[in-house]
Structure 1
Amino acid sequence: MSNYLKENDVHIKDGTDVNSIMRDMMSIILEGTLDAEMNEELGYSRYDYKNKETDNSRNGYSKKTMHTSYGDMEIDVPRDRKGKFELQVIKKHQNTITQDMEEKIISMYAKGMTTADIESHMRGLYGSMEVFL
């Protein structure tokens, strides 16, 4: 966390600043997880057209406002051209993240896991469980 604060020149003055940082962290993790879901759905990662074996492809992002205990945050949700991509971590009409999920993400981050590790771990969990959302 100290590296994040130094790299982004963030100065914490009060509880509002802490909420803002937590909201930003949640946003980064959720967007990364959604992008990983899209990679899996399409069978190739972004810009890896050599391994593309589908006639479907990415089609930008749409905005979605999520309500958390840290306040509202706007995330970018990936879309596919055929409109077949269905989110697993965040369902189509879902707009709230439970406090239980927030606590798990914060705990993993506090223990030193990188945002990429957390995204990977969440994908592993949500492949078989969807109880946190």
Structure 2
Amino acid sequence: MPQGRQEEAARRLAGVLSPQAIDGLIADAADAGIGLDGAGGLLQQMMKAVLERALQVEMTDHLGYEAGDPAGRGSGNNRNGSYPKTITTTAGPVTVDVPRDRDAAFEPVIVPKRKRRLAQVDDMILSLYARGMTTRDISTHLKEVYGSEVSPA
């Protein structure tokens, strides 16, 4: 992404995640007995919400119409529910609902088919390996830090 677009995206994100909005999220999580990180934590829930929204946007782009839009009637390909998929993220394992279409032609980009880890996790694994950690050490590290099972293979 070009530098100007990154800066603009960062400004929009800062506007949405104002200190007051973040304080409200943290207070709501504390009132509900939810921690910031770990299983079921605020960060994990936010990761799930962002990933699921991105998947819905990808499906809309794929089909060419919004969910519930009459333009989709008779189009030949429609939304066809979703399926759960657990993926390893930097916030730990997250189960997302991946939308599907009737023609089974939808190929998600953010959570590709047959992939169980986001690219950032793969990059982290490669970095740890390049720094001399064994595959078993990396597997143990991911289990301890992120609560994610990753095969040493």
- How high is the TM-score relative to the length of structure 1? 0.64
Q: 1:73 Cα deviation (Å)?
A: 1.2
Q: How far apart, in 2, do the equivalents of 1:28 and 1:85 lie? A: 20
Please, which of 30, 38, 42 is the counterpart of residue 11 of structure 1? 30
SS in 2 for 1:18: coil
Query: In structure 1, what is the equivalent of residue 65 of structure 2?
Result: 44
Structure 2 unpaired stretches of 5+: 1-21, 124-153
Determine which of 11, 19, 26 is the counterpart of 2:47: 26
The structural deviation recorded for 1:38 is 0.4
Measure how far apart 1:100 and its partner are. Answer: 9.4
- Alignment-mate amino acid for residue 35 of structure 2: D
Q: Deviation at 1:78?
A: 0.1
* 2:105 aligned residue: 84
C-alpha distance in 2, partners of 1:46/1:74? 22
Deviation at 1:99, TM superposition (A): 5.0
CA displacement 1:39-94 (0-9 Å, x = unmatched): 01111001112x22721000001000011232211000000011011111111011
Say if 2:82 and 2:100, in contact at 8 Å, map to a contact too.
yes
- Distance of 1:100 and 1:25 partners within structure 2: 21
CA–CA separation in structure 2 for the residues paired with 1:66 and 1:5: 24
Q: Which runs of 5+ in 1 are unaligned?
A: 102-133
| 1:10 maps to amino acid | A
Q: Which residue does the alignment assign to 2:76?
A: 55
What is the alpha-carbon distance in structure 1 between the residues aligned to residue 84 and residue 101 of structure 2? 14
RMSD (CA atoms): 2.5
% same residue: 32
TM score, norm. by length of structure 2: 0.56
Give, as a single letter, the amino acid of the residue that structure 1 aligns with 2:29: V
Give 1 or 2 for the bigger CA radius of gyration: 2
Structure with the greater relative contact order (CA < 8 A, sep ≥ 6): 1 or 2?
1
Query: Quick one: distance in 1 between partners of 2:58 and 2:91?
Result: 25
Q: Give the 4+ runs in structure 1 shifted more than 6 A.
A: none
Q: 2:116 matched to which residue of 1? A: 95
In the alignment of these two chains, the number of paired residues is: 96
